[in-house]
Each structure stands twice: as C-alpha cells, then as structure tokens.
Structure 1
Amino acid sequence: MEPKIEKAAVRPDEVDVERGSNKEQTTPQVKDLASKEGAKVETGFDEAFLVTFGPEDPENPLNWSRKLKWGITAAVSGTGFVRIMVSTMMAPGIEVIAKDLDMTTTQSTLALSVYLLATAFAPLVIGPLSEVYGRKPLFHITNVFFLAWNLICGFANSKGLLIAARFLAGAGASAVYSLAYGVLGDVWSKEQRGKSLSMYLFVPLTGSAVGPIMAGFIVEYSNWRWMFWATTILQSVLVLASFGMFYESYAPVLLRRRAEKLRRETGEANYYADIEKRESGRTTLWKIRRSLTRPLRLLLFHPTIQLQALLAGINYGLLYFALASFSALHVSAYSNSIAISGLHYIAICTGTISGSQIVGPLMDYAYKRLKTRFTDVPELRVPLLLPGALFTPIGFLLYGWAAQYKLFWLVVDIGAMLLSLGMQIFDTTLGAYVMDAYPEHISSASAATQVLRSLMAFGFPLFSNSLYKSLGYGWGNSLLAFLSIGIALPATGILWRYGAKLRAKSESSY
C-alpha cells in the first residue's frame, strides 16, 4: 500500500523558518510575516534591505568548500568519540569502583548510568541556546565543562562526589546529542545527509567499544581512576584542535551578523536579517524563554516528535541494557578476566559501525529514488527503519538463547553485533527524519527526542541484573526482542502512512 504523501506538503503556516531551503538548499528563505501588498511592510521593514544569502554565496554554510565542511564534521565527530567512550567505559570497572568507594552494586551502576540522565535534560538548554547565540560558543563552552568534570571523576574519593561529577560531565557531554545534528544540518544538504551522518558517526561509535576495552585493561593492570585521567588528556587535545577547526555555521546568526556589519559600514539603519524582523520589539528575556521552551513544546505538542522520542528512547535503552550486562556475562558464564571480557564489546562496536556505514549510502540512494515517485517530504526516510526493526530482535534472541545454553562465545557476540547493527540503522534513520522535518530548529528537535532516549538509557541498566536473575538470558532477551519489534514495526507503518498528516497538525516550531 502506498503512503499518502504525494500531496502532503507542509501547510503554509508551518513554514516558519529561520533558514529554509530551495530544491538545492543554497539560499535561506523567509516568510513574509506582514502585508504582501508592497515591499514596505506594516512593521517598517523594507524588503529591499532584507539580508539573505545569494545562490552561490561563499558565506552560506551550505556553499562552503568540502574541505571546510569535513573539518567541522571531524571536530564534532572527535569530541563525540570521547563523550560516548566515557559514557560506557565504567561498565567493566563497576565492581572494583564499588569496592574502593564502599558502594553497593546498584550505586555503582547508578554512577555509570547517571551520565545518561544528564544527557536527557542538558540538551534542552544547550540545543535552543545554540539557536540564539550560535553553535560555536556553545560547542566550546560545553567542551571545557565536560573536560573539567570528567577530570574530577578521576579524583573522586566518595560515592557522592563520583555520582555528582559523572552527572555534570554528562551535562557537558550532552552537547553532542543536539549540537552535532544541528551543525550537520547547517552545512550538508538533504541529498548528502546519509553520507555526512555516516562519516560523522564512524568515529564516535567506536567509542562505545573502545571505552569498555580500554577500561578493562586499566582496571586489571592499573588504577580505575586512569579511565578518567586518560580520557581527560585526550579531550584536552581535541579541545585545542577544535578552536582552529570549528566555525559558526548557524545561518540565522551569520545573517544577523552580516546585517549588523552592513549597518555599521554603510550607516544605513534599514538593513536587517529575517531573525531580527521576527524578534523585533521583543526583550532578550522573551527570546531566551521562547528558545528554552521550544524542545518541551515540540515534545508536548508535536506528534511526530513524540513518536520519534518514544522509538529512539526504547532503542537506546535496550542498547544500554545490553552494554551494562555484557561484560558480566562473559566473566560469569565464560570465565573471562575483566580485561578479556571488555574485548567482547568489539562485537557491539562492529555492529554499530557497520550499521552507520551501511545506512548512509542506502539513505541517499533511497531518497533519490523515492523523490522521483513522491513529493519531497521527510517520510522518504521511513522505509530504512524496517531493516533496523527486524535486525534488533533477531540479535536479542540469538544473544539471549546462546548465553542461556552457554554456546560458543562467538555466537553470543554475533547476536550482540546484530542487535547493535539494527539499532544503529534505526537510530540514524530517525535522526535524518528529524533533521528533514525540522530544518529550522534541528538542535531543539534533537534535544526533544533526546529526553526519553536518555531517560531510558539511564533506567534500563538498573534492572538488567534483576531481569536476568528472574528470567535468565534466554527469556529475558526474548522479552526485550518482543518489546522492540512490537513497538518499532507498527510505529514505522504509522510514520510512513500518516507522518505527513501528523506534521500538518503541529504548530510552528518557532
């Protein structure tokens, strides 16, 4: 059955954009917020003085050189690597840290997952503020903030300080979950979305495996505190490098700066950017309040964001459920040392990296093919959700029942690889859908979907031990598989057939 999306264009009152795009995504478009009867509008803004980007304007981030675009992509990718690595690296050292700081297993697991709790709420501030003050200052501030608190984790001498420092480090790290997608949306066109996402994700996704592997050897042969000290050193290098590689990419901020420069240089006060017209007469407090409430408004009143947040949340929660228990399984069932048990995270890393590299080219190919049959709408991303929805439960079942009957360890690892591959395909496709559906406020939309995602990633690992003790790995993972496919498949069908109608019911994202 074909989706009803051929004529499901967004309503005119939805096109409230600060940086829209034409077919080639080369020039920002603006909506006439006042009278259309002449160039001189009722608000006093003369259209002749509206500052925009020209079709081949070199200052338009979409027209930047490929070298500059890849440099910025590398900057956000490198910082993403450290932040994701730090999120998972405590897994092999949970028992050692618990013993050293007199923590219960639940408390030490909390120290692992509280990092994810911070990433649920901090993007609600970081993402919107980047749409007021620009990407660059928020990127550098959060980099330094994360570095400082990750360093403090290494010096923590009490469970309270460790948990608090992990939470604050997670708050700084959370910028990658909102800023990165915003930056990629700023500089890459929709036709290049798959390729740019694949290249951006390649390095950070290795962090989910490098963290536990590195930590396993550190815990066994050194002091667990070096997990934090070593990553702080690496983060310091990346922070210094980013100052020369990262440039402001948010078009509304760049256009506002251009308008201010024209007013200064020409003495003509009538030059203005569209964002200035929209915010004319508004106080700074109003602008910040409007910006900070945007992610919550999207989550509360936009059905597409609600559905995306639920799907991404369950997906991410299940992944961290597997990450939290994976090392312990190989230690208890296969008599591995802590260091060797960390090597099995290579299977999960292989799955996530493979998923990101497979889905990117497929996404661009499918988009170009489907665009010849249907109207260019975000729902053209949806078909690629299906492989992810199927691979994930298959992986859970193979991983669970192989562990239940203690089959050769490679079978367990293949199951883990398949589930992480499916999750990555699903998650990357959802990310592209959000970027297409909310091009003017990608960071705020990403922050809105991040809330449930991080909350579930925080909460699911807390119950992994209890679930496996009660049901065993076989039925425990079967439950997770049924939960995954029971939600993902129907939701995919809803987005494909009714996604455009759901978006049409939403108010402007501004």
Structure 2
Amino acid sequence: MRHISSGHVADSSVIADDATITNVNDQKIDSSNSNIEKLEKESANKIESEETQYGSQSVSTTPVELEPHEDPKNMSPFRKWVAVVVISSASLCATCASSMAASAETGESRDFHVSKIVTILGISLYVEGLGCGPLLLGPLSEFFGRTPIYLTSYLFFFAFSFPVAFAPNIAVFLVFRFLTGFSSAAFLSVAGGSVSDLFTNDKVANPMAFYTISPFAGPVIGPLISGFINQNVSWRWTYYVLIIWIFVELVALYLFVPETYAPVLLKKKSRRLRRLNGLPEPEEVGKKAILHAIALSCYKPFELLLFDRMALLLDLWSALILGILYLAFQAFPIIFGEHHGFSSGLQGCSFLGIGIGLVLGTATQPFWNRLYKEYTIEHDGHPPPEMRLLMGMPGGILVSLGLFIIAFTTFPGVHWIGPIIGSIPFGTGIILVYTAVFTYLVTAYRPIAASAMAANSALRSAFAAAFPLFAPAMYHRLGTVGATALLGGLTTIMAPLPFIFYKYGPRIRQKSKYAMS
C-alpha cells in the first residue's frame, strides 16, 4: 500500500495539514511530477515534503510514513469485519429511522390534530436532512477524520431524537425530524470510505457489498419494526426504541471503529514526532480553507447537474427509483391495509418482498465482480467505465417488471401474495441499478467523484422526500393499478439508459468537461 501527498482541496479530495495521501491504485497522478514518479517506485507508505496551498494559506508538510502495524489495512480480519459490521448497522439504523415514521403517522395525526399529509412530512424532512447532511459532513471528514465525524454526528442524532419522541406539537416534531436526518447523514457520505480504508482493492468487494445493502435495507426494515410497535403501544414508542438503538450504536462506534483515514493518522503521527523532537507545530488549516471546501462541496454538485446531461440522466434515474421506494411506504398500506385488511404489523411485513429482492441482488455481486475482472484483463488493466453499467441493464428491466407485476395484482380479488412476489424483482433491480450508477459515476467522473456522488445524493433525497407527499392522492384517484402502472411506465422510459451510455458513453465523455475522456 503506497501513500503520497496530494494537496488539492477541490471536490472533497483528500486533505491534511501535515500529510495528504491518495491510493495510487485508485487515482492517476500527473506523470510530469518527477518526485511523485520516484515515490511510486519506492516502498510503502511514503510521504513527500511539499507546500500545500489552502486558499491564501501555506502549510508545510513533514516527511512521515505509516509503519505496517499502523496501517488500517493491516489490522486483523476479525477486527476489520467487526468495524464493518458496526458501521453497516449504524447506517442501517440511520436509514431505518426514515421509514419507521410511516407506521406512526396515524397516531401522530390523532395526537397532534393534523391531517395525514402533514405527518408524512416526518418522512420527507428526515430524508431531506439525509440529502443535505453530506454536503457539510463530507468535507469536514476530510479535515478531522472519519471517527470524530461518526461520533459527533451520532451524538447529535441521539440528542435530537429526544425532542422527536417527546414532541409537544407537530412543529417541534417536524423540525427535529429534519435535524435527526441531517445529523445521521454521515453514514451515507463517509462510511463507504471507511470500508475502503480497511481493505486492499482485491479484498474490498465483499465488505463493500455488505455495507452497501444496509442503506437500502434500512427503509425496508423500518415499517416492519414500527408496524408491530404501533399496533400494540403508543406511536411514541417507535422513537423510544429508536433512541435505545442509537445509543447502542453510539457505544459500539466508540469501542470498535478506529480512525481509518490515512491523512489523519499521518497528521497525528507527525504531530507526535514533532513534540518528541521539540519541533514547532505547523500552521493549522484555517477556517477559510474549511469554509472553502464546504462551499465547493455545495456548489460543484449542482454545477454538474446543470451542465452534464449524462450525469443528470443517471441521477434522475436513480432518484426516480428511490422516490418510488419511499412512495411505497404510503402505497403499501393502501394496497395491503385497505384492500386486503392487513393490520399495522402485517403491513410492515409486506415489505419483505423488497428485502428479499435486495438480498438476491447483493448475492449476484460475485458474478459481476468476476465479469469485471475478465474485462479488466481484456483491456490490459484499464477497462472503460462503461463496463460498470452492465449490471444496470438487467436492473432497469427488473425494476419495471416488478412494478408492472405489482400493478396488475393489486385488485382486491387477487391474492395478496401477488404484489409481494412482484416486489422481489423490484428490490433486486434497485440494488443492481444503484451499484451500476454509483460505480459508473465514481469511475467516469473520477476527478470530481465526491461531487458526482453528492449531486446524486441531493437529487435522490429530493425525490424521496417529495414522492410520499402525493402518493395517497395519486393512489386514491388513479387506483392501485393505474398509479403503480404509471410508475412502471416512468421506469420503463429510463431503463434504456445503461444500454445507451454503454454504447455512446465514451463519445459523450470526450465532449464533457467533467468526465474522464
């Protein structure tokens, strides 16, 4: 494992005041820099002394290297997997909290004396917080490390959950639902980096797949948990249980998740060595540098959405699918509750089909990994980014197929198992589409990968926040068949995108000022 200094602030790239590193296997460095070329030939964990510019501030770096026992990738497999499990469960908790509110809406509407639509804002505002949080927390993690961001954000998540659980009125409830979503968003923007910090490129696929399923499984598990809670006790117990879960996760994060971000580890080591040798501390990164990075992380994603059509279309596709998933939290109670007479708890169980589909989609990852390795060999180790879109091809078809099966099995006279069976290919398609889109964006837009993912996250959150609000009206006016078929038609229109970009992607990237040509 080799690390070299980078010194760029843009796009949430790796930043540190004493030393900055980048995985050489993942990123191409300017070949004109002879010092870096020399470093690439030397042994592991080398850091070059250089001047790093943070706006108008200059920070001197110090030669320092990580010893093998200090490298997170050299931790024992057991310890690494414990960290992955804790990070994944914390991510599961954060996303599960978004949909747990769905089953509590009836009780909230009754106690707060508001309409059902107003209580749906509890989901929408939380999801909007999940979309806004990474714009701030992502850049901060580059300066302060991953673990401090995890602990701080989860502490706020824990604290803000109390006003939600004990809210005296709907205003307090909704404000703090947004704040809990915002504070829990670190696990959607930073956690993937922790997993990649712990494993080498040839071993990261399985732990990354394990982590990747948690943000999607969370919204599916949420109604299952809260459904039975609200069936037997007050809706507030939904949030009491959530508070207990958050506390357990907070303790586990503190005990089992070490700092894995190499620039921060190098920075701490450099400071320790300076103190031991009586050397002066380097000038700290100023507030202007941090504010600049945050401003850039807020601006660049929307610039990409406005001026790059390929990124916009892929982001719209993934946003539409997530919007439909969150719309299901309002649609399934209509399909299974009103038409089939399911209780609140059984309505939560109706999401198990989507969960099974997610698991099946994740189980196909070894096949896609082998296929990608074959393409890598065929292209001398440098396959085009479009290879990542291959799994999106069946994924898009399965999403549309699942929705049409759900649509035409929602008649009251049709057995309730029909829509649940239809939700299985829908869930499988979700994981395939998202894996394809995420990996393609990171690969094709590597110079601004953080901004590309932030743009995707912002658009997905906007759709996921909006769709539940119009779901009840749409399903009652169009009927379950017409409304679900309409959604299936929209996804069918978007399904050809991976086929189109697989063929024309290289030509489009050559004309783009953001993508790699």
Q: Does the alignment reach a TM-score above 0.5? A: yes
Looking at structure 2, the residues matched to 159 and 35 of structure 1 have their Cα atoms a distance apart, in angstroms, of 62
Tell me which of 377, 391, 409 is aligned to 1:372.
Answer: 377
- Is the contact between residue 194 and residue 362 of structure 1 (CA under 8 Å) also seen in structure 2? no
- Is the contact between residue 113 and residue 459 of structure 1 (CA under 8 Å) also seen in structure 2? yes
TM-score, normalised with respect to structure 1: 0.84
Count of residues in correspondence between the two structures: 482
Looking at structure 2, the residues matched to 370 and 229 of structure 1 have their Cα atoms a distance apart, in angstroms, of 50
Q: Which residue of 2 aligns with 1:5?
A: none
Superposed displacement of residue 257, structure 1: 2.7
Q: Which amino acid aligns with 2:360?
A: S
Tell me which of 350, 367, 376 is aligned to 1:362.
Answer: 367
**Residue pairs, 1:154-233, within 5 angstroms:** 154-203=165-214, 205-233=216-244
Q: Which residue of 1 aligns with 2:460?
A: 453
Looking at structure 2, the residues matched to 354 and 38 of structure 1 have their Cα atoms a distance apart, in angstroms, of 44
- Is the contact between residue 119 and residue 174 of structure 1 (CA under 8 Å) also seen in structure 2? yes
- Segments of structure 2 that go 5 or more residues without pairing to the other structure are 1-9, 15-19, 39-47, 53-57
- Is the contact between residue 351 and residue 421 of structure 1 (CA under 8 Å) also seen in structure 2? yes
Q: Which residue of 1 aligns with 2:505?
A: 498
Q: Which residue of 2 aligns with 1:96?
A: 107
Superposed displacement of residue 364, structure 1: 1.9
Looking at structure 2, the residues matched to 466 and 195 of structure 1 have their Cα atoms a distance apart, in angstroms, of 42
Q: Which amino acid aligns with 2:342?
A: N
Superposed displacement of residue 492, structure 1: 4.9
Looking at structure 2, the residues matched to 262 and 434 of structure 1 have their Cα atoms a distance apart, in angstroms, of 39
What CA deviation, in whole Å up to 9, does each residue of 1:420-453 have, x standing for no partner? 2211221133333344456787665533321001
Q: Which residue of 2 aligns with 1:485?
A: 492
What CA deviation, in whole Å up to 9, does each residue of 1:311-335 have, x standing for no partner? 3211211111122211232111001
Q: Which residue of 1 aligns with 2:44?
A: none
Superposed displacement of residue 465, structure 1: 1.6
Q: Which residue of 2 aligns with 1:4?
A: none
Is the alpha carbon distance of 1:48 and 1:240 closer, same or farther for their aligned partners in structure 2, counting shifts above 3 Å?
closer
Q: Which amino acid aligns with 1:293?
A: L
1:129 has 2:140 as partner: yes
Could you say what secondary structure the match of 1:90 adopts? helix
Superposed displacement of residue 155, structure 1: 0.7
Q: Which residue of 2 aligns with 1:431?
A: 438
- Is the contact between residue 34 and residue 43 of structure 1 (CA under 8 Å) also seen in structure 2? no
Tell me which of 131, 147, 151 is aligned to 1:120.
Answer: 131
Q: Which residue of 2 aligns with 1:288?
A: 291
Q: Which amino acid aligns with 2:436?
A: T
% identical aligned pairs: 24
Q: Which residue of 2 aligns with 1:474?
A: 481
Superposed displacement of residue 106, structure 1: 1.0
Looking at structure 2, the residues matched to 341 and 508 of structure 1 have their Cα atoms a distance apart, in angstroms, of 44
- Segments of structure 1 that go 5 or more residues without pairing to the other structure are 1-13
Superposed displacement of residue 193, structure 1: 4.2
Looking at structure 1, the residues matched to 296 and 448 of structure 2 have their Cα atoms a distance apart, in angstroms, of 12
Q: Which amino acid aligns with 1:416?
A: S
- Judge which range, 493-502 or 104-113, deviates more: 493-502
Q: Which amino acid aligns with 2:403?
A: F
Tell me which of 382, 402, 409 is aligned to 1:402.
Answer: 409
- Is the contact between residue 301 and residue 506 of structure 1 (CA under 8 Å) also seen in structure 2? no
Is the alpha carbon distance of 1:439 and 1:264 closer, same or farther for their aligned partners in structure 2, counting shifts above 3 Å?
farther
- Judge which range, 64-73 or 379-388, deviates more: 64-73
Looking at structure 2, the residues matched to 508 and 462 of structure 1 have their Cα atoms a distance apart, in angstroms, of 35
- Is the contact between residue 304 and residue 455 of structure 2 (CA under 8 Å) also seen in structure 1? no
Looking at structure 2, the residues matched to 438 and 245 of structure 1 have their Cα atoms a distance apart, in angstroms, of 33
Looking at structure 2, the residues matched to 289 and 503 of structure 1 have their Cα atoms a distance apart, in angstroms, of 29
What CA deviation, in whole Å up to 9, does each residue of 1:107-161 have, x standing for no partner? 0111222111111211110111111211111110111111122222111121111
**Residue pairs, 1:323-362, within 5 angstroms:** 323-358=329-364, 360-362=365-367
Is the alpha carbon distance of 1:329 and 1:503 closer, same or farther for their aligned partners in structure 2, counting shifts above 3 Å?
farther
Is the alpha carbon distance of 1:240 and 1:186 closer, same or farther for their aligned partners in structure 2, counting shifts above 3 Å?
same
Q: Which residue of 1 aligns with 2:328?
A: 322
Is the alpha carbon distance of 1:485 and 1:42 closer, same or farther for their aligned partners in structure 2, counting shifts above 3 Å?
same
Q: Which amino acid aligns with 2:23?
A: S
Q: Which residue of 1 aligns with 2:23?
A: 21
Looking at structure 2, the residues matched to 187 and 35 of structure 1 have their Cα atoms a distance apart, in angstroms, of 29
Is the alpha carbon distance of 1:37 and 1:449 closer, same or farther for their aligned partners in structure 2, counting shifts above 3 Å?
closer
